[in-house]
Structure 1
Amino acid sequence: MPAARGRSATLGGVSGPAPVVVVGAGPVGTTAALLLARRGLDVLLVDRRRHPYGLPRAVHLDDEALRALADAGVAGEFLARSRPMAGLRLLDARHRVLAEFRRRPDAGRHGWPQASMFHQPDLEDVLRAAVARSPRIEVCRGAELVGAEEADRCVTVTLRDPDTGARRDVVASAVLGCDGARSTVRDLVGARMRDLGRPDRWLVADLRSTAPLPVWPGVHQVCDPARAATFMPVSGDRYRFEARLLPGERPGDVDLPGLLDPFGARDAEVVRAAEYVHRAQVADRWRRGRVLLAGDAAHLTPPFVGQGLGLGLRDVHQLAWKVADVVTGAAGEDLLDTHQAERAPHARALVRLAALVGRLMTGGGAAAAPVRRAVLAAVGRVPALAAYATDSRTPALRRGPLVDRRGRAGRRLAGTLVPRARVRVDGRECRLDDVLGSGPAVLELAGGALVVGAGGRRRAVEDVDGALTAWLRAGRAARVTVRPDRIVGSAR
């Protein structure tokens, strides 16, 4: 179990807490490691694979999830290797357009495209490079977690080399299980996945084309109950095609060139074609002591609203500061109770939404086709409904110890992300996150002027384009508290 970088638990001559062990070096685990390291914690990033997986899985991220990559320090590099998503086009069985929902090409409320398409290995390259630059992160590949025992606010984890069987124990201050759908950490905390819908078998094909394909640049969803399918340009010369498998059908039985032909992709190179089982599940338990779950270890979602990876990034963005505060003694252990209390309902809401959208777009049999066409035509004629179809905002967190949703302003804003608006402070233009810092903050609107209190300082900020002031006034709030994960804790 060689480590990618050797270093002691003492950095800069100052002894600190035992490292946090993050299990799983995919995008969620690697982002978690970066977020923790940027908060001053040592991290041991463990993965059972000796080499990165290398094949694409996720292809979509929204601008809310990008807040996690921004705080991990890699949003700019990610955006340079992705492309904005143009929107969604719903097609019938004959590929006639039922409805089209375009996304504006300019930046959304957080300063980025509302949705970005990307090749997952590109994102993982960016994350690995950032990990390599961090002196606080040690990477251990070829090691699987087989045991975790907690005592005295530490967790002793047992790592095993899957090839040789060699074992070693590591004392950790906390353990984050980001080890995917077949999570061993989930088993160790005694959690079970609860079904929120039936599993669905799909053929997933990743394609490349040397010449750009003559297709609309957004996502195409074929709403055909007999053969539901999805086609989307990803980034560069890459494309993704997915088709529901029929009962008893195997991937090799599918006429893939024939299904690709309507998109002009019959002759595209098939990089990989494999069966995926889309599941709708959420774990019934996310924590045992200082061992916590995140990402696919905690929830699995159908792909219809593109939230698989985004949910995992939200998990670790909202968890990293809590773990850091508990490990350093800035907060009590009960802060970790809020992880499942906040994230599980949010995950369930989005998993159920994805399952519902899938049924609405692809279910109901042949009799549902004319109804679907009429409903979608009506939706397309109502601007507010059409805008909702492309809105990247997800449900607010529920009321709890860290989310005060009392009062009119609280019910409107608490539990939502504060906009990453453009502001000017001390003559310099930047984004609000640069002023908020990495800890809790307060944003106030007094006499038409905006003031940010963060890190023991109060500074007047100029709202460059008025978006932040408009957001506060629409929420009927003059003062909001902002958590370290950029979520509004309270609004008055």
Structure 2
Amino acid sequence: MNPRVVIIGAGPTGLTAAALLTRYGVECVVLERWGAVYPQPRAVHLDDEVYRILGRLGLAEDFAAVSWPCHGLRLLDPGLRVLAEFRRAPGDGRHGYPQANMFDQPDLERLLRSRLEAIGGITPRGDTEVTSITQNETGPVRVEVTDRVTGARETIHADYVLGCDGANSLARASIGAMMTDLRFDQRWLVVDVATRTDLGEWEGVHQVCNPQRAATYMRIGKTRYRWELRLLPGESGEDFRERDRLHPLIAPWTKHVPADELEIVRVAEYTFRAQIADRWRDRRVFLLGDAAHLTPPFIGQGMGAGLRDAANLAWKLAGVIGGTLPEDVLASYEAERKPHARAMVRMAVLIGKAMTEGGRFGDLIRKVVAPRLALVPALAAHVLDSETPALRRSILIERPRLRRTLAGHLCPNTVLDDGRRLDDVVAGRFAVVTALTPSEADRTAIQSCGAVLITAHRSGELDRWLRAGRTDAAIVRPDGTALRSSNSLSQLCRSLPRFTAAWI
């Protein structure tokens, strides 16, 4: 077996990478040590930017059926009195989906597996343990695997390997990468409960700001609820396996529900860490997801960061394999994703410390700053805004140093004249978004590069996006990110990359 790409790990990151590559016609194999979808809940949140990636895979409606929109954030003091409440406006965000969405990770993984099978007839190879990854200077990557059921060994050669194999990544070890500690380490108890009885709580995230026993409560589905509670010194997850020990911790939210109507799905101890790999690539081996970064859960960006990795890398890899992009564009993956991931990890650490630590800093944030933020509509909206930082400069992001630009920012996934959204029309290609009238030469240049011309009508969402960047036109990459912007459409068209690998 000699596929173009081997993907190690069939979690959300690996499955998303495989589905995106398969849509571009790239032959993949996905290797997974577990025999089937891991049944325990883990990740529970993704935003509209990540939802948009699922939408590109044709999973928007299916995901909507298994997800639960989140109405905002409520900060509570140790007595569960409301310090501040940030309510999210109803409706979809700039990308056409709810800005905060709760779900059960096994449900998402099943959707991704079904979609991968439908796109390319690919089923992850379960019960397959990757034992080594080696590469020489010019040849393919050698992947040694062992069947965990039969013990049979096999060697797979691939042009590229994507290590989506989690926090204890063999792929990371194989390239000699190390995790850099961003100085956050807390032990928490994670409790998942199922009940058909509605708890009657506000449909947003409840964050208990308590330096002794910080806690988070959230509804993640029609019958599913989650609590995350910080463990005290000397406590462990084993201490709360029995219902009598666990129930007092969640009783403030379940006091009206008989204990026998609460099904304990899982009680587990987790150590929330903030770490990022010092390097994400060695020649033809790449790190994605938890193999490259670990994020505390306070802003709900852990799993989503992995899907962002997959969306960033897949189209570039497809272009290189298809011969329409030079191989040096692959250096842009780490250049773009690593600073973005680090910024999100640091934001999660900051929020976590503000919500859970004692001292003057924590008291100031909880008692003074947060309640006042909630009283100012513009500031409250900023707290809930799902927009993440722009990507840094790379070979595929042309950002001037001293002036405002759209480069690195996501283009809104707006509804166009024909009723379809931008992503549906662009269909995995480059696009030129412009408020200017293109010449025939411009149209020819765009068409010859395999790109799509998108007109930004006056006062429409795309026109507002362009004006916010003080520009008249922008090149938008297949992942929805602006490559560069200009007030000269002809100049922009001359710099348009040739990329013909449209969705199959």
Structures share fold, TM-score greater than 0.5: yes
**Could you say if the C-alpha distance between residues 135 and 458 of structure 1 is closer, same or farther in structure 2, counting changes exceeding 3 Å?**
closer
Picking from 393, 406, 412, the partner of 1:419 is 412
Aligned to 2:351: 357
Q: Secondary structure at the match of 1:280?
A: strand
Tell whether the 8 Å contact from 1:86 to 1:218 is kept in structure 2 after alignment: yes
Residue type of the alignment partner of 1:431: R
Structure-1 separation of matches of 2:74 and 2:337 = 31
Q: Deviations over 1:58-95 (max 9, x none)?
A: 10000111222122222221122112110000000000
Is 1:94 aligned to residue 79 of structure 2?
A: yes
Tell whether the 8 Å contact from 2:433 to 2:456 is kept in structure 1 after alignment: no
Picking from 117, 138, 162, the partner of 1:176 is 162
Deviation of 1:21 (Å): 0.6
Structure-2 separation of matches of 1:304 and 1:108 = 21
**Could you say if the C-alpha distance between residues 395 and 169 of structure 1 is closer, same or farther in structure 2, counting changes exceeding 3 Å?**
same
Structure-2 separation of matches of 1:71 and 1:318 = 13
Structure 1, unpaired ranges of 5+ = 1-7, 10-17
Is 1:277 aligned to residue 266 of structure 2?
A: no
Deviation of 1:366 (Å): 8.4
- Describe how 1:27-66 pairs up with structure 2 within 5 A: 27-66=12-51
Deviation of 1:132 (Å): 2.1
Structure-1 separation of matches of 2:325 and 2:396 = 13
Aligned to 2:190: 204
**Could you say if the C-alpha distance between residues 412 and 379 of structure 1 is closer, same or farther in structure 2, counting changes exceeding 3 Å?**
farther
Aligned to 2:474: 480
Aligned to 2:104: 119
Structure-1 separation of matches of 2:458 and 2:58 = 24
Q: Deviations over 1:9-48 (max 9, x none)?
A: 7xxxxxxxx3311100011111111000000011101001
Aligned to 1:247: 233
Tell whether the 8 Å contact from 1:220 to 1:231 is kept in structure 2 after alignment: yes
Q: Deviations over 1:322-366 (max 9, x none)?
A: 111222222233222111111111111100110000011111248
Deviation of 1:456 (Å): 4.0
Is 1:389 aligned to residue 383 of structure 2?
A: yes
Q: Secondary structure at the match of 2:338?
A: helix
Aligned to 1:13: none
Residue type of the alignment partner of 1:335: V
Picking from 289, 293, 315, the partner of 2:309 is 315
Structure-1 separation of matches of 2:40 and 2:118 = 24
- Describe how 1:298-337 pairs up with structure 2 within 5 A: 298-337=292-331
- Alpha-carbon RMSD across the aligned residues, in angstroms, is 2.3
Structure-1 separation of matches of 2:225 and 2:360 = 29
Question: Which has the higher mean CA deviation after the structures are superposed, 365-374 or 59-68?
Answer: 365-374
| Structure ranking higher in helix proportion | 2
The percentage of counterpart residues that share the same residue type is 48
Aligned length: 472
| Structure ranking higher in strand proportion | 1
Structure-1 separation of matches of 2:216 and 2:28 = 39
Deviation of 1:372 (Å): 2.1
Deviation of 1:164 (Å): 4.4
- Describe how 1:257-268 pairs up with structure 2 within 5 A: 257-264=247-254, 267=259, 268=262
Question: Which has the higher mean CA deviation after the structures are superposed, 306-315 or 365-374?
Answer: 365-374
Aligned to 2:425: 435
Q: Secondary structure at the match of 1:349?
A: helix
Structure-1 separation of matches of 2:454 and 2:319 = 28
Picking from 141, 162, 175, the partner of 2:126 is 141
Tell whether the 8 Å contact from 1:422 to 1:465 is kept in structure 2 after alignment: no
